[in-house]
Amino acid sequence: MITIGCFHAHYSNIALIEETLAHYDIELVHYVDPGLDRLKHDTDFSDAVIHEKVAQTLQWIAECHADAILVTCTLFATVLEQEAKQVPVPVIGIDDPLLKEMQKVPGEFTIVFTNPATVEGTMARVNQALQQQHEDESGQLHVAKVSQTEAVCIPGTFELIMRGDQKEYLEAVREGLQQIAEQYPGKRLVAAQLSMAPAAAQVTIDRGIPIHSPLALLAAYLEKILGLARQ
């Protein structure tokens, strides 16, 4: 049985991961640390603080007999390219499968956030991924042909989930995604953060507006990368 250590910034992500991976023969061990999000507005807060904390936590999770690490916070994921190299087990960012999918599908993307602190780092990851070569199913290398990516933040929402108002948060995100879909017709919408996934799925069902989210692609991606077996 594979053990996956899950590194979260908020406890609400635990249920989303547990439900998504419920059909696999794996052990999920959850580590929740909201500290960086609470410090992000301090005057002396910097990327160096994120690097140091994420590096320490990844090492700790690996030492706790994890076979792989799943990082579900986009703020943590912004430094994974450097910090994951120091860890002796595979480290997967929650947006990794989404980035792979965006490489394959040409078009203009509007990336929607609720946490302003993750916008800059995530967009850097997105734009870097879209400039890299990727391998198709036949093994041929391609570069994604994307004309534009744009970030939009739904204001006043992230504070709701961080203080535990999850129902109010999801409703606000659902309304925000619907409005953005109307404002950006013809563009592919992406809900950047894991916490937004249920609202994105609801808008897709209710309005028929396809919205990509990290959760929708996660199980298949982990099955491929880690060789997960279904129960």
Q: What is the pLDDT along the chain (231 residues), one digit of tens a residue?
A: 899 999 999 899 999 999 999 999 999 999 999 888 788 778 888 888 889 999 999 999 999 999 999 999 988 988 888 888 999 999 999 999 988 888 877 678 899 999 998 899 899 888 888 876 555 555 555 555 555 789 999 999 998 988 889 999 999 999 999 999 999 888 889 999 999 999 999 999 998 989 999 898 999 999 999 999 888
Paired tokens of 48: 């160096």
- Asked if residue 89 lies in contact with residue 68, where contact means CB atoms within 8 angstroms, the answer is yes
Question: Per-residue pLDDT tens for 167-205?
Answer: 999 999 999 999 999 998 888 899 999 999 999 999 999
Round to whole Å and give the CA distance between 83 and 86: 6
Residue 59, classified by CB atoms within 10 Å of its CB into exposed (0-12), middle (13-18) or buried (19+), is: middle
pLDDT for the residue numbered 142: 52
What pLDDT score does 74 carry? 87
Please give the domain boundaries of the chain with CATH numbers for all domains: 2-93+217-226 (3.40.50.1860), 97-214 (3.40.50.12500)
What pLDDT, on the 0 to 100 scale, is given for residue 204?
Answer: 93
Do the Cβ atoms of 174 and 199 come closer than 8 Å?
yes
pLDDT of residue 140: 54
Question: DSSP readout, 20-63?
Answer: HTTTBSEEEEEEE--HHHHHTTSTT--HHHHHHHHHHHHHHHHH
User: What local confidence, expressed as pLDDT, does residue 20 receive?
Assistant: 95
* Residue 229: predicted pLDDT: 87
pLDDT value of residue 145? 55
pLDDT at residue 143, rounded to an integer: 56
| Residue 159 CA from chain centroid, whole number | 18
| Helix, strand or coil, per DSSP, at residue 145 | coil
Tokens at residue 218, please?
A: 């996660």
Query: CA 101 to CA 190: how far, in whole Å?
Result: 11
- pLDDT of 25: 94
Contact 74, 192 (CB under 8 A): yes
